[in-house]
Structure 1
Amino acid sequence: MGWSLLALFALVTLGFAYETCLSREKNPYLFFGTKTSYIVASRGGPNHTKVHEVPACEPVAFWMLYRHESYEPEEDEIRRLQVLNDFKKDVVSNYRRSIYNKTNHRICLPDYQLIETWEWKPPRHNLTFAGDTSSEEFIDALKLAQNWRQRYPNLFTENRRNYKFKYMMDDRRSTTSLGGLTRGLFNKSVVYDGFLSEHDNKLLRPHKFCEAWTKSVGDTPIQLRLFEAKQEYKEMIRNVSLRLGFNYDISADAIRIIFDMCRYDKAWDISKVSPWCAVFTRDDLRRLEYAEDLETYYNYGHGNELNAKVGCVFVKDMMNFFTSHVGNEPPQKPQVMLQFTEAPALLLTLAAMGAHKDPVHLEGHNYHSAPMQARKWSSSKMAPFNANLAAVLYRCRLNGSYQHKVLLLLNEKPISLDWCTSGVCEWSQFVIKLGEVANSCDLEACNETHIGRNVAILVVAVAFIFLAAVVAALWCRSILNRGKISK
């Protein structure tokens, strides 16, 4: 009897040794692609209070591209995420039927209880609020604006003529983001009378007006499909399935839904444990992050040459704004240009600038390679919620004359480019490198009709060359034949 109890105790102890308690992870992985919290993406950089200090220089103009805060799921996302109601019931059933005892991957009781008590709650999950920005990230926008005002008090003044806002009036996220930033700048809610503003959707969403681009990103990138077909990705699905008590692999779409709920939860409240994040290990989350990096790399980044041609629109806007200041005595009005857009536009702009470019392409087969583990293209760090690309023009007194420099910042950290590694760029280099991008920027080049016309011209030209070659060959042949006859 004693031996039996001892054996039972040993089996139970052995069984519990294989449990995973991921909700108790002391240093959880929080990089979730384009749904990463700004707090996570912006941490670990240089001293933010000093980054703006450029010796012997004073700031004269500020340009920023700003992505909206986190938001409630869109209407179609809400319908997808609602399946977690039934999925949760299956997980609870698996646990109660002791299916977990048949696997060494089962989650621990605290993790199970988090899932068991999870509910789909209004108003956050209500269709009425679909797509609205969240109050948490509104506060982040407010704090960000306060940071900029503290660093550049001579630019961020009370004078309304000192600002120009570009935002989409038909987009609630843009208008809410504008509200958060202006509240932080002026310490109060403001009426926008007296401010310069533009509402050009073609400028703020250039990719939406490029037929060729829309067509090129219509399908899932091939490299993403290759990665999802890899054994390591399938193993991730298998491990999550076993962890939740399923004796079969749940679908890749189910994994994606769980991941989306996880990252929404953490974006809304970074300090709160998400029951759906607790089903993933650190390695699982890194693979899911890489999958999104593959998608953004080919849809908005360096994986498609067309992306840079579309993203040049904002580079051109930046160059025009700064050129007007360099060519005139300061101060010119407005000194602050703020533009509100979405993650795709920000990533397209970075691609046009040549930023975060890796020496090798991101591909489905090279996830474990050293370059990919240290890759520069990271959607989590480049385009989290509240992402911001800022450029600050400085006027510098050097050797008795005035020169200009530009400080480039992404999420308040200096951007390293091939020709400007410190983030502080000489104006002469800035004009050569990004001026070339701006001068060659023409969205007409990516329209289907324009491309179709060029293709038609090319086809006619090739046909003409081919016909000319045939005629020449026949002529030469006739000459040779005459020569043979004369002999």
Structure 2
Amino acid sequence: MVHVLSLSSVILSFFTAVAGIFYYNHSLSRSTNCRDSVFSSAFGASWRAWIQSPCIEQHNDWNLYQHLGGYGPWVEKTAEDDEIQGNDVPDRIPLNGSLSFLNNWTYITSNPERDFEQLTTTGPYAGTHQAFETGLRFAAHYKHLIPSDANTKFWASDSKRVIETAQHFASGLFGSDWEKVGKAALEIIPETFDRRADTLTPGDTCLRYLEDEDRGHDNGVKMLTLFQQAYIPAIAERLLVEEGNRELEGFTNWEIFSMQEMCGFETTVRGSSPWCDVFTREDWKNFEYGRDLVHYYRGGPGNPYAGAMGWLWLNATANLLREGPKAGSMFFSL
């Protein structure tokens, strides 16, 4: 066992679980006014309103944002993003139908190298604001659990967006001077392979998981790729033929899937996205299932290494509970 006990204080407690739910399933309402009314007070909102706003635009019990795969408040770069960026403003071929917005659409960033895989800072769903707001809500509910003279230690993996999320969260929970006055201390855990079991990111350090081409990390994307063939060709046919865009050379399955991803990405940056209207409810249900396949076979029950990697947190939690109150009153890992 390699330094597993040193992670006993890196406990993903109930509080952290709620924070994770918030970031990966946060509400994406197109109505900023509605959202402002729900989240106007850290003390007034219920748990239900905190985790998921009831003001999300719905039609006949259909809520698109519940089917986007749980994107968080940062923009994840995919291999196909550059291809979409190349379609920024078509110079030669005017597009028709649901793709006609592309005739005047601008890409979500003019500086991908700076903005991709970072915390969003613009729009009603800015990750910086949401992290700070989450800290305020934790303070409203749980600050009484933290001794006034305590120096609370919390952890973040060595990723710029994760570190910034932790810092904004701490500012909301402990106050903007948390670091200066010693209310809390942030410890950054490297994501390097040499950390092995002493890590917050075992998906980067488990050698067999990384090297197993059949059942390891890449199995999720393999399963998604197989499923894409079951639903995406019909979408391409609709966009190209039925909507009068035959002059385009065609779309690959991954290009269509990236368009669906762009709905969530652009919404987090701008508050809404015309990409969301390109696809039908059935398209979104298939997209959601595709995302489920990725996570099920990449790090969930469908992956034989998931239990071993998840054991790190289970072991840390068990050790902390055995240690009792002397271990401390609150622990965070972001």
Structure 1 unpaired stretches of 5+:
1-33, 52-66, 96-105, 341-487
| Aligned residues of 2:71 and 2:264 also touching (Cα < 8 A) | no
Instruction: Sort the Cα spacing of 1:171 and 1:281 in 2 relative to 1 into closer, same or farther, 3 A.
Output: same
**What amino acid is the match of 2:205?**
F
Whole-Å Cα distance in 1 between the matches of residues 267 and 242 of structure 2?
Answer: 21
Match of 1:57 in 2: none
- Aligned residue for 2:154, secondary structure, equals strand
Deviation at residue 85 of structure 1 after TM alignment: 2.0
Deviation at residue 141 of structure 1 after TM alignment: 1.3
| Aligned residues of 1:207 and 1:213 also touching (Cα < 8 A) | yes
Deviations 1:18-67 (A, max 9, x none): xxxxxxxxxxxxxxxx99661259x9xx951899xxxxxxxxxxxxxxx9
Deviation at residue 303 of structure 1 after TM alignment: 0.6
Match of 1:276 in 2: 275
Instruction: Sort the Cα spacing of 1:244 and 1:318 in 2 relative to 1 into closer, same or farther, 3 A.
Output: farther
Q: Pick from 201, 206, 214 the counterpart of residue 202 of structure 2.
A: 206
Match of 2:310 in 1: 311
Whole-Å Cα distance in 2 between the matches of residues 36 and 336 of structure 1?
Answer: 22
Question: TM-score, normalised to structure 1's length?
Answer: 0.47
Match of 2:253 in 1: 252
**What amino acid is the match of 2:168?**
G
Compare the two structures and name the one with the higher strand fraction: 1
**What amino acid is the match of 1:79?**
D
| Aligned residues of 2:139 and 2:173 also touching (Cα < 8 A) | yes
Match of 1:175 in 2: 163
1:83 aligns with 2:86: yes
Match of 1:151 in 2: 141
Match of 2:286 in 1: 287
1:132 aligns with 2:118: yes
Deviation at residue 212 of structure 1 after TM alignment: 0.9
Match of 1:263 in 2: 264
Question: TM-score, normalised to structure 2's length?
Answer: 0.67
Taking every aligned residue pair, what percent have the same amino acid on both sides?
18
Instruction: Sort the Cα spacing of 1:186 and 1:35 in 2 relative to 1 into closer, same or farther, 3 A.
Output: closer
Deviation at residue 209 of structure 1 after TM alignment: 0.8
Deviations 1:217-247 (A, max 9, x none): 23555543432232x4422332233465333
1:337 aligns with 2:325: no
Instruction: Sort the Cα spacing of 1:228 and 1:132 in 2 relative to 1 into closer, same or farther, 3 A.
Output: closer
Whole-Å Cα distance in 2 between the matches of residues 187 and 147 of structure 1?
Answer: 12
| Aligned residues of 2:80 and 2:255 also touching (Cα < 8 A) | no
Instruction: Sort the Cα spacing of 1:138 and 1:317 in 2 relative to 1 into closer, same or farther, 3 A.
Output: same
- Aligned residue for 2:145, secondary structure, equals coil
- Aligned residue for 1:167, secondary structure, equals strand
Match of 2:15 in 1: none
Which has more radius of gyration? Answer: 1
| Aligned residues of 2:108 and 2:269 also touching (Cα < 8 A) | no
Whole-Å Cα distance in 2 between the matches of residues 188 and 181 of structure 1?
Answer: 10
Match of 2:172 in 1: 184
1:119 aligns with 2:120: no
Deviation at residue 299 of structure 1 after TM alignment: 0.5
| Aligned residues of 2:135 and 2:173 also touching (Cα < 8 A) | yes
Match of 1:48 in 2: 47
Tell me whether 299-308 or 246-255 shows the greater mean CA deviation.
246-255
Match of 1:164 in 2: 153
Whole-Å Cα distance in 2 between the matches of residues 207 and 302 of structure 1?
Answer: 15
Q: Following TM superposition, where does structure 1 have runs of at least 4 consecutive aligned residues deviating by more than 6 angstroms?
A: none
Structure 2 unpaired stretches of 5+:
1-21, 30-37, 39-44, 51-69
| Aligned residues of 1:167 and 1:200 also touching (Cα < 8 A) | yes
The alignment of Structure 1 onto Structure 2 pairs a total of residues equal to 262
Match of 2:66 in 1: none
Instruction: Sort the Cα spacing of 1:240 and 1:193 in 2 relative to 1 into closer, same or farther, 3 A.
Output: farther
| Aligned residues of 2:71 and 2:265 also touching (Cα < 8 A) | no
Whole-Å Cα distance in 1 between the matches of residues 200 and 106 of structure 2?
Answer: 37
| Aligned residues of 2:25 and 2:72 also touching (Cα < 8 A) | no
**1:375-394 counterparts in 2 under 5 A?**
none
| Aligned residues of 1:35 and 1:264 also touching (Cα < 8 A) | no
Q: CA RMSD in A?
A: 3.5
| Aligned residues of 1:132 and 1:173 also touching (Cα < 8 A) | yes
Whole-Å Cα distance in 1 between the matches of residues 188 and 176 of structure 2?
Answer: 23
Deviations 1:91-116 (A, max 9, x none): x5243xxxxxxxxxx43xxx73x332
Deviation at residue 147 of structure 1 after TM alignment: 1.6
1:141 aligns with 2:131: yes
